Amino acid sequence: MFLDDRKRRILQAIIDDYIDTAEPIGSRSIARKHELGLSSATIRNEMADLEEMGYLEQPHTSAGRIPSDKGYRFYVDQLMKMTELSTEEIISIRNAMEVRINELSQLIRQASMIMSKITRYTSLAVPPQLKKSTLKAVQVVPIEPDKVLVIVVINAGVVRNNMVKIPKEVSPDYLINVSNVLNEKLSGHTLEQLNLPFIIKEVESSVGACSELLGPILNSVVECIKQVDNAEVITDGATNIFNYPEFRDLIKAREFLNVLDEKDIICKLLANNYDKKGINILIGNEHGLEEIKECTLITTTYSMGDIVVGSIGIIGPTRMEYSKVISSMNYIRKKINQEINKLIDEKFE
């Protein structure tokens, strides 16, 4: 598994060129373009070695070489030089993400958008999953004589509500009482901790059972909590794949776009990395999905405080500008975390 310095330099040259041109790379063009001080014949021999070791592949006998998944993996882990974002790129990321944003999911939408724009690949994202966040407050507010609005407030400005019709008019005091009890029982717990059936009983006994009224209200609370995590998936720049010659084949383009439409597959791919730190790279077949085995998926997570709440990523051909994508993603991730925390501070410092 050890590659001497010369092999590494040649492999790097081949992958860099292939990422650039999407054409199989021949020994002569490497000898010409890169100042390695070697003849094409020597390079040819080295390339044959690299192929035998599994880092390169040959589409057919008389063609140049292209990197294999293993080649890309080695490139990403050891060879690749990181690029810096240009100032224009940094500015456009800031502009996209520092707009006045109210809803957390809106922030992720923006992040996804700008990421596909900058990388020119397809971006994926799941909005924050808030199961692990704590419930801040519950309120029951009268709206019309026979309608009340149930409001559930979670972290970071996330609010859900549900209108509910009640069978008979109740006094504001009664509602305040209900609100207080609900607050006491519910707030401070994470959403996934909440043992709702148990709580319902407790509340009933505290308020003095009048389930005719309480029933619909408690149902609404449950409904609100359910609404918090609609496991939606965001994609942007799906048609970017048409820019890449490896998808000039209609069948491949179609397969790719079809996978993007399978929200649950994307969801799983993005959820994969919740426990891992930093940026996660799945090259080619590493994710094991037949339909996109010629794609690379690069993902990362974002957090609220210390808790990972969601994930964003990009998907594109294995021949991808890895370093560009990684540096954009690092920056965008940092920005997301910043902005989330700003939101929390503002709304609940």
Partner DNA sequence: ATTAGCACTCGACTCGAAGGAGTGCTAACA
Partner DNA sequence: TGTTAGCACTCCTTCGAGTCGAGTGCTAAT
Give residues in contact with its own copies (CB under 8 A).
Answer: 102, 136-137, 139, 141, 143-144, 147, 149, 151, 153, 157, 159, 161-163, 165, 223, 227, 238-239, 242, 248, 250, 253-254, 257-258, 261, 346-349
Q: Which two tokens stand for residue 1?
A: 């598994």
Q: Which residues of 194-210 are buried (b: 16+ CB within 10 A; e: fewer)?
A: beeeebbeebbeebeee
Q: Which of these, 154, 148, 164, lies nearest to 128 by C-alpha position?
A: 154
Which of 15, 50, 65, 284 touches DNA (CB under 7 A)?
Answer: 65
Indicate the residue among 16 and 339 with the shorter CB distance to DNA: 16
Extract the tokens encoding 242: 């048409």
CB of 112 to DNA, least distance (A): 35
> Contact between 221 and DNA (CB under 7 A)?
no
Q: Which residues does 87 contact at the CB level (< 8 Å), separation at least 6?
A: none
Greatest alpha-carbon pair distance for the chain in Å reads 92
d(CA 12, CA 88): 28
Nearer to DNA, 61 or 171 (CB): 61
Rounded to a whole number of angstroms, the minimum distance from the CB of residue 283 to its own copies is: 25
List the interface residues with DNA, window 67-126 (CB under 7 A). Answer: none
Q: How far is the CB of 326 from its own copies (least distance, A)?
A: 26
Q: Which helix (H) or strand (E) holds 279?
A: strand 279-283
List the one residue from 22, 53, 58, 289 that touches DNA (CB under 7 A).
58
Report the distance separating Cα 174 and Cα 281, nearest Å. Answer: 55
- The correct pick among 62, 87, 195, 230 for binding DNA (CB under 7 A) is 62
Among 44, 109, 120, 185, contact with DNA (rule: CB under 7 A): 44
Query: Is 63 a residue that touches DNA (CB under 7 A)?
Result: yes
**Span near DNA by CB under 7 A; candidates 40-48, 71-79, 137-145, 248-256:** 40-48
Which is nearer to its own copies, 202 or 249 (by Cβ)? 249
| Integer Cα distance of 186 and 218 in angstroms | 12
The sign of the torsion formed by the CA atoms of 168, 170, 175, 177 equals: negative
Q: Which does 254 bind (CB under 5 to 8 A by kind): DNA, its own copies, none?
A: its own copies
Nearest approach in angstroms of CB 34 to its own copies is 34
Binding flag, residue 35, DNA (CB under 7 A): no
136 binds, among DNA, its own copies, none (CB under 5 to 8 A by kind): its own copies
Coil, helix or strand at residue 123: strand
Q: Which stretch binds DNA (CB under 7 A): 43-51, 119-127, 264-272, 332-340?
A: 43-51
Q: Where are the alpha helices (DSSP H) in the chain?
A: 5-21, 27-33, 40-52, 69-74, 87-97, 104-119, 172-186, 196-207, 211-228, 250-261, 263-271, 322-348
Binding-site partner at residue 1 among its own copies, DNA, none, CB < 5 to 8 Å by type: none
From the list DNA, its own copies, none, partner contacted by residue 301 (C-beta under 5 to 8 A by kind): none
Please report, for residues 58, 289, 320, the alpha-carbon distance to residue 24 in angstroms, rounded to integers and kept in the order given.
Answer: 8, 25, 15
Q: What whole-number distance in Å separates Cα of residue 59 and Cα of residue 120?
A: 26
User: Measured from the CB atom, is 205 or 227 closer to its own copies?
Assistant: 227
Q: Which residue, chain included where needed, has tokens 């922030």? A: 107
CA distance 36 to 98: 46
State which residue, 196 or 209, has the beta carbon closest to its own copies.
Answer: 196
Identified binder of DNA from the candidate list 8, 12, 34, 51, rule CB under 7 A: 51
Pick one of its own copies, DNA, none as the site partner of residue 45 (Cβ within 5 to 8 A by kind): DNA
Would you tell me which residues interact with DNA (CB under 7 A)?
6, 23-29, 37-42, 44-45, 47-48, 51, 58-65
